[in-house]
């Protein structure tokens, strides 16, 4: 049985689950086949519950909506800045195919009456959220990506291999 923290895959059960979807799947015979089968099962589990067989996630209006009610524990003390944990959860849910909408407690508390809250929620549902909760995070990661790309393209060529003179 292959074991990764949080994920358990049994080669026999992996083969049987695949054989139910494909008619001619046989028991893996070599270690490499078992390894590849394990990797494909892990990838399937990591795609998330919304992915189809090819690993495609829903897009646009097909995405289910997740509404995150953000209480005080979602923010750093005495700020309106999201915690790293909340940002990570937002990114993971977004990458799994959900439209994640946030309702911060300090915005909700300002609303008076059912009519204001209904208007607020309709406006929230009309939003198209991004993968990033904090624009500064997006900027940071984009700059890092651009820097990495530019570093890869500006690699210096290795020095020519000429024999070094020897001392006598």
Residue 15 to residue 4: CA distance in whole angstroms: 18
pTM greater than 0.75: no
Flag the least confident range among 63-72, 92-101, 131-140, 157-166. Answer: 157-166
Statement: residue 1 has pLDDT above 80: no
DSSP result, 50-71: T--TT-PPP-GGGSPEEEEEE-
Statement: residue 90 has pLDDT above 70: yes
Beta strands at 2-4 and 7-9: parallel, antiparallel or unpaired: antiparallel
CA-to-CA separations, 18 to 11, 15, 44, 150, in angstroms, rounded? 11, 5, 11, 42
CA-to-CA separations, 93 to 53, 63, 112, 116, in angstroms, rounded? 19, 11, 30, 28
Give strand pairing partners of 5. Answer: none
The model's pLDDT over 16-58, given as tens digits with 9 standing for 90+, comes to 444 444 444 567 678 888 888 888 888 777 777 777 777 777 7
Mean pLDDT across the stretch 108-124?
95
């Amino acid at each position: 049985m292959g074991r990764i923290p949080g994920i358990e895959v049994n080669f026999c059960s992996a083969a049987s689950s695949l054989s139910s979807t494909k008619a001619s799947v046989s028991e893996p015979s070599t270690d490499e086949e078992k390894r590849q089968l394990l990797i494909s099962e892990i990838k399937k589990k990591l795609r998330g519950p919304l992915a189809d067989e090819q690993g495609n996630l829903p897009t646009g209006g097909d995405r289910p909506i997740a509404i995150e009610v953000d209480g005080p524990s979602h923010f750093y003390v005495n700020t309106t800045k999201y915690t790293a944990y909340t940002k990570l959860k937002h990114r993971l849910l977004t990458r799994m195919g959900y439209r994640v909408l946030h309702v911060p407690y300090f915005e909700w508390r300002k609303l008076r009456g059912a009519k204001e809250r209904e208007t607020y929620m309709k406006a929230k549902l009309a939003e198209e959220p991004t993968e990033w909760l904090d624009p500064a995070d997006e900027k940071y990661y984009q700059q890092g990506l651009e820097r990495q790309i530019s570093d890869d393209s500006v690699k210096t060529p290795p020095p020519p291999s000429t024999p070094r003179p020897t001392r006598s």
